[in-house]
Structure 1
Amino acid sequence: MPRKPRPIRPSRPGPSYRLAMLDRDFLMSDSMRGLRLQVEYTKTEEALQAWGVRSTIVVFGGARVREGGAGGHAAWYEEARRFGRIASERGGALREAEGARDNVIATGGGPGIMEAASRGAREAGAPSVGFNIRLPHEQVPNRYTTPELTFQFHYFAIRKFHLAMRANALVVFPGGFGTLDELFELLTLRQTGRMRPTPIVLVDAEYWRRLIHWEAMAEAGVIAPADLDLLHFVANGTEAWAVLEAAGVALEEVAAAPSLPSPEPE
């Protein structure tokens, strides 16, 4: 008798059969990097809009600074804490005008100076934003940022974009390589006109002048003498807020829709 043909068994679906939106291998591939950048930007943007965060005051500073620490650490921590409270009380973060909050404290979300500034905002009863980045060390969200406004980024570029795009001011306390990176990123945007006029304040003038010979760059002709006017040197958090008030970063004079200017002519 002729042998019966074996039934054809359906092949087991491979990775190509997965739904694209659920295929982690595909989403993490090089070709999808652009999409991941977009998703990382959009998730944060929607959360900020939901909380009505229209503008921020960005505070940078060392993650290794500790409350009660040695050297200048204790003073730096307390001044950042004081500044976070003053700016939140007087800048508009407590008031929702037409569903918007202005001058909300925004930091890198981690310990040290970032914690201190967010702590001051919390003590004022105001929200604060934490833009955390995935790092092998020194990057754990501090307990004072508002939970719904505590983010984690994979891409430094998107994190920096969110730090810059709503900033009414940048206040920088003593810090290390990361602090310098963030400072010069925004300083370059200001120098090149790619960011609207935004005061940049360096707290503890003695530290910053000892660390960098700013005038040497102008003397060597690598920057214009007028570029030095982009920087304001102060002794403490109270003086930092006075500079911002003088620059118009105050509750009554907050810009309606702060943003980075378009790189192309309108």
Structure 2
Amino acid sequence: MNTSRPSNMAQLESPSYRLAALDQDFLLSDEMRGVRFLLEYAKAEHYLRSWGVRSTIVVFGSARVRENGPGRQGFWYEQARSFGEIASRRGGALAQGNGVRDNVIATGGGPGLMEAANRGAADAGAPSIGFNITLPHEQGPNPYSTPELTFRFHYFAMRKMHLAMRANALVVFPGGFGTLDELFEILNLRQTGKAPSLPIVLFDREYWSRIINFDALVEHEMVDPFDSDLMSFADSAEDVWNALVRGGLRLP
């Protein structure tokens, strides 16, 4: 009679035996989509709280703009950088004794005008946030967002949620589809009362007036006339800050 004990190597090597938290194949499975969504929320929340970030000023704008680019690109970049510095110095991003930070610059984390706003915060010696997204043509984070506050998301929805949930204000520099998507996301949240009152400022009235005919929306009764009051325009970094304050920006 064979009394030798059989090997349990097959059991030890089975994927089902792996600790769930350490099983990447399982975590990336379709069944775990909801858990991955939760993880993307919780990880950013953990780091934001550890830095005392209570509120943000969200800055959107094109990733294609360059500091020395053609046309008005250089001006847009300069003004986005200047605004990042102004807001960081005056808004409360430089934490006081209680360690709480308000109106911290938050961008999509990429190059272009997002980089410029993060760079302005760095000029002020203040932290800033980069909410990056994984794209088919990978786009790395810019070098000016605070490393510990530089995140990468798979889900656009969770990225948008983090951009919106702490926002005290929204500043939108010239941009394309992505910028328009984020702008109308916040406008819709404000219009429907899903987001609290916050000032929304579009930089460079000439650009936005050519891109979107907001008046036509009112004329065709697609939006109410008072919906136009959800946003204002500014043409310099200082004007943006003043418009935010007039619009009720909450200051510490």
**Could you tell me whether the CA contact under 8 Å between 2:108 and 2:130 is conserved in 1?**
yes
User: RMSD across aligned C-alpha pairs, in angstroms?
Assistant: 1.5
> d(CA) in 1 for partners of 2:137 and 2:28?
23
> d(CA) in 1 for partners of 2:230 and 2:166?
18
Match of 1:202 in 2: 202
> d(CA) in 2 for partners of 1:80 and 1:138?
24
Q: Which amino acid aligns with 1:10?
A: S
Match of 2:41 in 1: 41
CA displacement 1:243-262 (0-9 Å, x = unmatched): 011123253xx4xxxxxxxx
**Could you tell me whether the CA contact under 8 Å between 1:128 and 1:145 is conserved in 2?**
yes
Match of 2:174 in 1: 174
**Could you tell me whether the CA contact under 8 Å between 1:244 and 1:250 is conserved in 2?**
no
Match of 1:91 in 2: 91
Percent of residue pairs bearing the same amino acid type: 63
Match of 1:106 in 2: 106
Aligned ranges 1:150-161 → 2 under 5 Å: 150-161=150-161
The TM-score with structure 1 as length reference comes to 0.90
**Could you tell me whether the CA contact under 8 Å between 1:78 and 1:116 is conserved in 2?**
yes
Report how far residue 136 of structure 1 moved: 2.5
> d(CA) in 2 for partners of 1:167 and 1:128?
13
> d(CA) in 2 for partners of 1:143 and 1:92?
22
**Could you tell me whether the CA contact under 8 Å between 1:92 and 1:250 is conserved in 2?**
no
Report how far residue 97 of structure 1 moved: 5.0
> d(CA) in 2 for partners of 1:250 and 1:68?
34
1:10 aligns with 2:7: yes
Match of 1:54 in 2: 54
CA displacement 1:131-161 (0-9 Å, x = unmatched): 0111123621111111111111111111111
CA displacement 1:14-65 (0-9 Å, x = unmatched): 2212111112121111111111111110110010000000000000000000
Which of these two proteins has the greater Rg computed from alpha carbons? 1
Match of 1:260 in 2: none
Aligned ranges 1:169-248 → 2 under 5 Å: 169-248=169-248
**Could you tell me whether the CA contact under 8 Å between 1:55 and 1:167 is conserved in 2?**
yes
> d(CA) in 1 for partners of 2:39 and 2:70?
42
**Could you tell me whether the CA contact under 8 Å between 2:199 and 2:248 is conserved in 1?**
no
Report how far residue 95 of structure 1 moved: 2.9
Report how far residue 188 of structure 1 moved: 0.5
CA displacement 1:72-98 (0-9 Å, x = unmatched): 110100010010011111111113352
> d(CA) in 1 for partners of 2:107 and 2:97?
23
Change (3 A) 1:95 1:248: farther
Unaligned residue ranges in structure 2 (runs of 5+): none
> d(CA) in 1 for partners of 2:43 and 2:138?
24
- How many pairs align? 249
Which region of structure 1 is more displaced relative to structure 2, 141-150 or 94-103? 94-103
Match of 1:29 in 2: 29
Report how far residue 7 of structure 1 moved: 5.3
Match of 1:78 in 2: 78
Change (3 A) 1:97 1:193: farther
Match of 1:118 in 2: 118
Report how far residue 221 of structure 1 moved: 1.0
Report the secondary structure of 2:189's partner residue.
Answer: helix
Q: Which amino acid aligns with 1:185?
A: E
> d(CA) in 2 for partners of 1:222 and 1:65?
32
> d(CA) in 2 for partners of 1:139 and 1:205?
29
Change (3 A) 1:97 1:158: farther
